[in-house]
Structure 1
């Protein structure tokens, strides 16, 4: 069972629209080593887990897999903002900012760069595809059923994903893109550390090679700030009932040999989540006055005090 908190797992810094950067980020979302793949791989390994004695390992997979849901949400929202423009647009009027201004064709920007499907299919939002526009596929998901093999594969996946995100960082100076990319670089290293510790608990000495790749990503200012906060050494459990045993694995010196100690926490505080503005030229959301009144009435009902509660939430 999963609960949704309406906050982003990390803040997205406002900046100018950048459709080309948005398309590059699609690889980090729907590519072979992207966030959709890590989310589905770890969750399916959790769902299929066998052996009650291995509960700490299953709980680790559940915790990282659940965090990846938040990463999918974060990177998809970032892509949407890069296509549509940030909430506090800073200047340089364009058809992104004022569709149809001065007689311009409202969606002409779709022809000049990035992925045309962001406008043609997605109404200026993210898509479950890679940077080439190829759809994400479940064939990416790996679950051998063998715990050491799965952990080795997961470590490789996090390492490759972090390598790609370092390349993405080098592709754009856009603050919106870099704020998300830097966060994912650090969290990928955190997951590398966790899987290395899990392998170490099984007697595998793979952790001696970490971090992989040796990217020296701390030279990126946004990454350095997060590393100074020790974010690369924290694992989140997302366990409301406090039954996760992942903490048995995520403890002691970090395999990255950076002087930090691994620890577990329930969940990050997150950052405020904002809903994007309407886009009439995309007919989105397309609410006529009658339907809008129904939506507003439903919102007023949701603001009332709840009369009951399902399950334990705290």
Structure 2
């Protein structure tokens, strides 16, 4: 079973909308090496795992896959924030939908040449399960061979390639909203590289000669350096409510990144950051609950309560 804590796994910084950055981030969400791929690949590997003696490896893959669900939530919400509203448009909910904004700006004119137009045509200015070119995410990306060593090697390659791509995306934008999420994912990708590298070491695989972790110099990015200084690249979470995970048998000892840190799998989950819901955007045709809908919801609730009281008697209030 899975439980949802209503926190983002990392804080999303506030900045202006940036549809071009949102489109670049789509690669990190729905691309071949994006967060949707890592989430599905690790969860399928964990579900299909065989061999009770190898439980620590299953728990490691399961824990990382569970974290990837929160990464999908984080990067998807970041894309939505980058698409929220239109720069220069200062419309109000009471304005006609075709009224121009500040300086005569047409509400969605930015859709024509600054982004993926599908964000505006079919996505209500929100994230889509596609890559940066608009290609739909594909289940054929998922690799699950049934051979533990092969799967771990492939997972290490996947995390390494994903981190390289995110470093490139970081250098495509100076938007604080985008960079706060990209930086966090860069560091967590390194943590997952460390996890799979350590697992391969425990199986006697000299992975360093075969598939070295790429040196990205991502520590030069100030947001990344702050997270690395906190040791976030050397932590792995269990996301296990009952303390039954055995991933700590693998994720321990000196970090394969050779950065002088020790691996730590003692934490259940990170602290997180409170989830907030974006405001209504009338020009996006994405309103919340208007008074008529609220009244309908209340009327429906009253009907359901009356039915309960007719069957079971008055409900305490």
- The two structures have a TM-score, normalised by structure 1, of 0.88
- 1:297–1:187: structure 2 CA closer, same or farther, 3 Å change rule? farther
Aligned to 1:236, the other structure's residue is in SS state coil
Query: In 1, distance between residues paired with 2:300 and 2:271?
Result: 28
Q: Which residue of 2 aligns with 1:10?
A: 10
2:269 equivalent among 267, 270, 274: 267
Cα deviation digits, residues 8-32 of structure 1 (max 9, x gap) = 0000111111100000000000000
Aligned to 1:2, the other structure's residue is in SS state coil
Gaps of 5+ in 2: 93-98, 302-317
Q: Is the 8 A contact 2:239 2:269 kept in 1?
A: yes
Shift in Å, 1:250 = 0.5
Gaps of 5+ in 1: 86-91, 300-314
Which is greater in Rg?
2
Q: Which residue of 2 aligns with 1:83?
A: 83
Q: Is the 8 A contact 2:16 2:87 kept in 1?
A: no
* Alignment map for 1:244-263 (pairs within 5 Å): 244-263=245-264
- 1:296–1:209: structure 2 CA closer, same or farther, 3 Å change rule? farther
Q: Is the 8 A contact 1:208 1:255 kept in 2?
A: no
Shift in Å, 1:101 = 1.7
Shift in Å, 1:211 = 6.0
Shift in Å, 1:212 = 2.1
How many residues in Structure 1 have an aligned counterpart in Structure 2? 293
Q: Is the 8 A contact 1:280 1:286 kept in 2?
A: no
Query: In 2, distance between residues paired with 1:298 and 1:150?
Result: 50
Query: In 2, distance between residues paired with 1:100 and 1:53?
Result: 65
Query: In 2, distance between residues paired with 1:171 and 1:38?
Result: 23
Q: Is the 8 A contact 2:12 2:177 kept in 1?
A: yes
Q: Which residue of 1 aligns with 2:287?
A: 285
Q: Is the 8 A contact 1:17 1:83 kept in 2?
A: yes
Shift in Å, 1:119 = 1.2
- The two structures have a TM-score, normalised by structure 2, of 0.88
Query: In 1, distance between residues paired with 2:153 and 2:2?
Result: 27
Q: Is the 8 A contact 1:154 1:195 kept in 2?
A: yes
